[in-house]
Structure 1
Amino acid sequence: MKKIKELIFNGETDDALRLLDEFIATNPMSDEAYYLRGNAYRKNGNFQQALNNYLSAMELNPDSPAHQAHDMLIEILNFYNKDMYNH
């Protein structure tokens, strides 16, 4: 997971997503993997996939940091969507 976190931090999200997909295929109950995959998708700008992965992490672990990430992303999207109507 450390390598995946470094890849996400450095913006190498395609590599991180590939590794996370492989990891999740053999560890489908890892809430941390779904949380990190959500972060990678968020950094890529794929907000729907980010939210889906955060929800998966939250289902597996109600105490997951994905709750905060999910709520933060929802707030950002709500802000931008409201702003679009004001132009």
Structure 2
Amino acid sequence: MNEQLNHIRQLINEGHVDTAISRLNDWLQTASSPTAEAYYLLGNAYRKKGDWQGALNNYQEAIALDPESPAADARKMVMDILNFYNKDMFNQ
């Protein structure tokens, strides 16, 4: 199990994000109990694709399973990025 997640982490780092998302979704469907780490990795994959909502949703799942997950910091970072983009700036 852990070895599989490490392989998926490597796929994300190498830019094979769609493959990683597919494998994580398969893993989460077959896992007897989902882990915060799997949702954190899924959030990272979505973030790397620029899918902010997908990233936030998966980080939130990870935090629900483990409040001490690194997903808490990652979620805060994404929120800071999104809050930085003030829509009013584009209307000037």
* Bigger Rg, which one: 2
TM-score above 0.5, yes or no: yes
The one-letter code sitting in structure 1 at the alignment partner of 2:79 is I
Task: Give 1:29 shift.
Answer: 2.3
Give the partner amino acid of 2:74.
Answer: A
Q: Which among 24, 45, 48 is matched to residue 28 of structure 2?
A: 24
Structural RMSD (CA): 1.0
Structure 2 unaligned spans of 5+: none
What is the count of residue pairs matched by the alignment?
A: 85
4+ runs deviating over 3 angstroms = none
- Once structures 1 and 2 are overlaid, which stretch shifts more, 43-52 or 25-34? 25-34
Structure 1 unpaired stretches of 5+: none
Give distance in 1, aligned partners of 2:64 and 2:6: 23
Q: How does 1:1-80 map to 2 (within 5 A)?
A: 1-27=5-31, 28-80=33-85
C-alpha separation between the residues in 2 aligned to 1:38 and 1:16?
11
Name the TM-score, length of structure 1 as normaliser.
0.92
Instruction: Give identity over the alignment, percent.
Output: 46
- Which residue identity is paired with 1:66? A
In the alignment, structure 1 residue 85 sits paired with structure 2 residue 80: no
Task: Give the structure-2-normalised TM-score.
Answer: 0.88
For 1:85, give the aligned amino acid: D
